[in-house]
């Protein structure tokens, strides 16, 4: 068994090597876990919406609860104008949540602990929101960078600052999810290693720590998916209802 | 009149619900989430400012100056952003 705590983040190829020109598009363990979480989501919602009984079964309850949760989140943060984007935010939330949760099972791979995955999601959101903003407001969307009631002297500085804060959105969005998942999983592995190295006498303390950390990590896995989705809603709100 | 009393009772109950909802809206939905949000945003602003400065330096060939300026602009942007979030939380 590998004692290196970073070993769990290694991406390796499964099956044959596939190349598209210069780009390696082989099926890896990361792709496997993305496929697994997507299939799990489809399964839960297919089974959950199959039989619309008045007294819901457990799986139907899960599907309905997550629907209400995301629906309430969107209407609270982005208003009724954001209703058409429900399906996008819902699938985003479920995908991140399921990837995080699958990573909590021992011997699995956490897809969201790789910055390229989270950055791709964040960049997609960023570009999409920018396009939506320009479609809804035309060139007036640039008013987002010019807050009202600022003296003329300070305006150039404020505009630069606003542009920096707009561009930092995809970075903060992706780094947050990636860093939380990676740090948590590394810490769990390190404490697991302490249990082995301290043996049966001293190993109980890190073991209890590991148990506590597992609970915390499940909380973080849910919370990060929630934060990811709610920030998408906030950015969408900025694009749909221009305040400045 | 029993119908009237029911109406007033319904009105009172609705008002209560509305008040409760307003109160809930004021509560931060998740303080831990807000903490995560603020900490990463502070770092991301500085990073983006530095990256912009680096790119501008490369295009204009003014090696150390723009990266320095934009680093500090990024720091200012990050701090202003945290201030804004804190103000929103107190609303």
pLDDT one-digit tens code per residue, A3-62: 677 888 888 888 788 888 788 888 888 899 999 999 999 999 998 888 777 788 888 888
Supply the pLDDT for residue A131.
Answer: 93
SS3 of chain A: helix, strand, coil, percent, to 5: 80, 0, 20
Could you tell me the residue range of the domain that residue B12 belongs to?
A: 2-90
- Looking at chain A, which residue has its C-alpha nearest residue B78? A165
Query: Which chain A residues are within 8 Å of B36, Cβ to Cβ?
Result: 176, 180, 223-224, 227
Query: What is residue A11's DSSP assignment?
Result: -
Domain residue spans of chain A: 7-240
What is the ipTM for the molecules in this complex? 0.73
Quick one: CA torsion of A196, A201, A206, A207, rounded to 10 degrees? 80
- Cα–Cα distance, A218 to A103 (Å, whole number): 10
Check A172 against B33: CB less than 8 A apart. no
Interaxial angle between packed helices A29-50 and A58-77, expressed in degrees from 0 to 180 and rounded to the nearest 10: 100
Over residues B5-35, the pLDDT tens digits come to 788 888 888 777 766 554 444 444 567 777 7
Contact A108, A33 (CB under 8 A): yes
Number of domains in chain B: 1
- B3 pLDDT band (50/70/90 cuts)? low
Low-confidence ranges of chain A (pLDDT < 50): 244
Check B30 against A223: CB less than 8 A apart. yes
- Cα–Cα distance, A218 to A224 (Å, whole number): 10
Of A164, A167, A226, the CB nearest to B33: A226
């Amino acid at each position: 068994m590998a004692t290196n705590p970073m070993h769990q983040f290694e991406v390796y190829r499964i099956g044959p090597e596939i190349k598209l020109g210069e780009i390696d598009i082989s099926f890896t363990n990361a792709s496997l876990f993305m496929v697994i979480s997507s299939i799990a989501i489809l399964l839960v919602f297919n089974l959950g919406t199959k039989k619309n009984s008045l007294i819901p079964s457990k799986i139907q309850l899960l599907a309905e609860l997550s629907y209400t949760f995301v629906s309430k989140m969107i209407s609270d943060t982005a208003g009724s104008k954001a209703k058409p984007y429900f399906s996008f935010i819902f699938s985003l939330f479920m995908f991140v949540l399921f990837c995080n949760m699958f990573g909590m099972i021992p011997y699995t791979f956490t897809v969201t602990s790789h910055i390229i995955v989270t950055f791709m999601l964040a960049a997609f959101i960023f570009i999409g929101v920018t396009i939506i903003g320009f479609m809804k407001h035309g060139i007036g969307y640039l008013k987002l960078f010019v807050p009202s009631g600022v003296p003329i002297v300070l305006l150039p500085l404020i505009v630069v600052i606003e542009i920096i804060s707009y561009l930092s959105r995809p970075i903060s969005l992706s780094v947050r999810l990636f860093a939380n998942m990676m740090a948590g999983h590394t810490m769990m592995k390190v404490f697991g290693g302490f249990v082995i190295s301290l043996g049966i006498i001293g190993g109980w303390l890190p073991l209890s720590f590991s148990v506590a950390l597992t609970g915390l990590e499940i909380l973080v896995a849910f919370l990060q998916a929630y934060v990811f989705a709610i920030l998408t809603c906030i950015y969408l709100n900025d694009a749909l209802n221009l305040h400045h | 009149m029993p119908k009237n009393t029911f109406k007033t009772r319904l009105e009172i109950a609705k008002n209560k619900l509305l008040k409760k909802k307003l109160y809930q809206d004021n509560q931060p939905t998740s303080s831990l989430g807000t903490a995560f949000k603020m900490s990463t945003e502070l770092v991301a602003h500085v990073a983006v400012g530095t990256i912009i400065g680096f790119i501008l330096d490369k295009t204009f060939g003014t090696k150390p100056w723009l990266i320095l300026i934009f680093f500090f602009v990024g720091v200012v942007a990050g701090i202003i952003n945290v201030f804004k979030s804190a103000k929103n939380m107190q609303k």
